[in-house]
Amino acid sequence: MKHISMLVNARDVIARIRPEIYGHFAEHLGRCIYGGIFVGENSPIPNVKGIRKDVIDAFRHIQVPTIRWPGGCFAEEYHWQDGVGPLENRKKMVNINWGAVVEDNSFGTHEYMALCELIGSRPYINGNVGSGTVQEMAEWVEYMTAVGTPLAEQRKANGQAEPWKVPFLGVGNENWGCGGEMTAETYAAEFRRYAAFCREHNGNHLCRIACGPSSADFGWMETVMKAISKGWGGYPLAGGIDLHYYTMPIHPKMDSATQFTDAEHYATMDSAFYCDELLTRHTGIMDRYDPENKVGLIIGEWGCWHEVEPGTNPGFLYQQNAMRDALVAAIHLNIFNRHAKRVMMANLAQTVNVLQAILLTDGDQLVKTPTYYVFDLYKAHQNGAAVYCYTDDEKAAEGYKAPMISSSCSVKDGVMTLTLANCSLTEEAAIDCGVHHFAATEASARILTGDVRAFNDFDHPEDVVIRPFDVTLTGGRLTLTLPPCSVAEVTLR
Ligand code: AHR
């Protein structure tokens, strides 16, 4: 057992934790949209407007604040007009990035907006820069948000008289790669044109999001930030910039989601904790071009990318999800909370049946993954004030960089929420935490723990679930013993 000192200070506020930090990402990829989220109104699987009821309930429970759609690389081949209007007239296309399957466009703008409404989440539409045009993206914004224009009339004829609110617009995806193989200079110039023509109709405040770098491409961040942080009127042209960072510890060789060595576990923890350094360095660049903090950092794709499950289509990116993935999620969310001053949104890749999914489906069956339960444990942070939280820097294993404990803390409406992960495979952590400037009289806790390779599947859907957990609060000191490989939420009132 390791003894770990902690300290939280409710007076030392970092920033408000925007709910969108707990955002998700759903692409037309494999069985994410079709089968996973959308089954169509005529399906025997219970649904509302074609959207699975079990998925709606699960998303609502963890308070999904936003879902980025329709991609990913798919967004860069997507033409929105193909996905509106009568189903029988919708154009089919080949989803060239993901398994070359036929996409029938039965899930389009109206179906996506129905999903957002049903789960109470705010739309994040990602437009096509690579193979689209400025006019096409500008018209999509007009179609969704305008009143009294020809495109607004088309929307009305398609069943939606009221304009929608579209708070977030992604201007391209990975334009350094699948989104057009552009240089940072080329993309920056493109972004300025798109930003100018994608207008705010009818009082809709549009946060235009620029394509950010892949991982540690600091040169991309520098060039794009320089170009987007000041428009002609001196104001930033973008409200956000979208960094992508996947946890791939043994890149370029993938590992299995459920069969890995202890060394691979610790390498994965190192890779997850590296996100902290990435955010610090990218924030440093952003601070130089945007000292007033008007452009938010978005981590629009994050999570574990493992080998696909044996026997599944390699283009569908279907992987299992074990306790190790839950730790990766917990580490990232704690890092995002700690960087809440600059981080305005993050989107885990990808909701259902793809990469680090929160839900897996098979026909009418649905399983919640360990990662889903981490979002359940962390949901109280949404809209809270992130506050200072210190933890001893004990290493999880010799020879690795990852600390044993990851943590973050927030305060909202007189309630303090502390989330913790113990990344060690062998050691318990006896935590002694001083709680400063917060007069708590009660403490309760919940925990997710199990073997690092444990997962839920259709035969064993509840092997890894949240359980109650004992903690002690005496005179401003919180004590608890975190088992190895665990994620916990502690609530103080
Ligand atoms: O999430 C899968 C893919 O990963 C996305 O389509 C792309 O943006 C990224 O490379």
Q: Which residues contact 472 (CB under 8 A, 6 or more apart)?
A: 443, 478, 479, 480
In a 3-state reduction of DSSP, which class is residue 375?
helix
What are the two backbone dihedrals, phi and then psi, of residue 152, each rounded to the nearest 5 degrees?
A: -65, -35
317 and 275 belong to one structural domain = yes
Please identify, among 343, 362, 383, the residue that sits at the C-terminal boundary of a domain. 383
- Together in a domain, 182 and 205: yes
Determine which helix (DSSP H) or strand (DSSP E) holds 368, and give its type and residue range: strand 365-368
Task: Residue 349: give the domain boundaries.
Answer: 18-383
Q: Are residues 379 and 397 in the same domain?
A: no
**Look-up of token digits 């930030």:** 225
pLDDT value at position 252?
56
Q: What separation in Å is there between the alpha carbon of 72 and the centre of ligand 1?
A: 5
Do 310 and 433 lie in one domain? The reply is no
Place of tokens 């699948």: 178
| Pair 339, 435 in one domain | no
In tens, the pLDDT along 254-292 reads: 899 999 999 999 999 999 999 999 999 999 999 999 999
- Work out how many domains the chain is built from and give that number: 2
Index of the ligand 1 atom closest to the CA of residue 74: 6
CA-179 nearest atom, ligand 1: 8
* Cα-Cα-Cα-Cα dihedral sign, residues 329, 332, 336, 337: positive
Q: Tell me, what's the pLDDT at 202?
A: 92
Phi, psi of 246 (to 5 degrees): -100, 150
In CATH, what number is assigned to the domain containing residue 439? 2.60.40.1180
331 and 418 assigned to the same domain: no
Measured from CB, residues less than 6 Å from any atom of ligand 1 are: 27, 71-73, 173-174, 301, 349-350, 355
The CATH code of the domain that includes 375 is 3.20.20.80
Q: How far is the CA of 17 from the centre of ligand 1 (A)?
A: 26
Q: At what angle do helices 370-378 and 323-338 cross, to 10 degrees?
A: 30
Partner residues linked to 405 by β-bridges: 422
Catalytic residue among 174, 190, 427, 489: 174
Say if 83 falls within a structural domain. Answer: yes
Task: Please tell me the residue having the least CA distance from ligand 1 atom 6.
Answer: 72
Give the residue whose CA is nearest to atom 3 of ligand 1. 72
Strand partners, 67: 24, 123
CA dist 66 and 108 (Å) reads: 17
419 is a domain residue = yes
Q: For residues 151 and 147, what is the distance between their CA atoms, to the nearest angstrom? A: 9
Stated pTM of the model: 0.97
Contacts 24+ apart (CB under 8 A), 185-190: 185/223, 187/129, 187/211, 187/224, 188/223, 188/224, 188/226, 188/227, 188/228, 189/227, 190/129
Give me the pLDDT at residue 92, please: 97
Domain end: 383, 417, 442, which one?
383
153 is catalytic: no
Q: Which atom of ligand 1 is nearest to the CA of 73?
A: 6
Same structural domain for residues 199 and 243?
Answer: yes
Which of 244, 318, 353 best tests ligand 1's pocket when mutated (most atoms within 8 Å of CB)? 244
* CA of 173, closest atom in ligand 1: 8
Question: What spacing in Å lies between the alpha carbon of 132 and ligand 1's midpoint?
Answer: 18
Residue to mutate, 124, 301, 347, 356, ligand 1, most ligand atoms under 8 Å from C-beta:
301
Considering 190, 301, 427, 489, which one is annotated as catalytic?
A: 301
Instruction: Phi first, then psi: give them for residue 86, nearest 5 degrees.
Output: -55, 135
Kindly state whether residues 22 and 91 are assigned to the same domain.
yes
Q: Are 272 and 332 in contact (CB under 8 A)?
A: yes
Please tell me the distance between residue 342's alpha carbon and the centre of ligand 1 in angstroms.
23
Do both 411 and 366 map to the same domain?
Answer: no
CA of 67 to the centre of ligand 1 (A): 14
129, 277: one domain: yes
DSSP string, 308-331: PPTTS-GGG-----BHHHHHHHHH
Domain end: 336, 367, 383, which one? 383
Would 13 be classed as within a structural domain? no
Does 136 qualify as catalytic in the annotation?
Answer: no
Give, using CA atoms, the residue closest to atom 5 of ligand 1.
Answer: 72
Regions of the chain with pLDDT less than 70: 250-252
Task: Please give the number of the atom of ligand 1 that sits closest to the Cα of 25.
Answer: 1
Same domain, 395 and 447: yes
Residue 254: CB atoms within 10 Å: 15
How far does residue 344's CA lie from ligand 1's centre (Å)? 20
Does residue 194 belong to any structural domain of this protein?
A: yes
39 occurs within a structural domain: yes
Would you state the pLDDT for residue 233? Answer: 87
Same domain for 347 and 488?
Answer: no
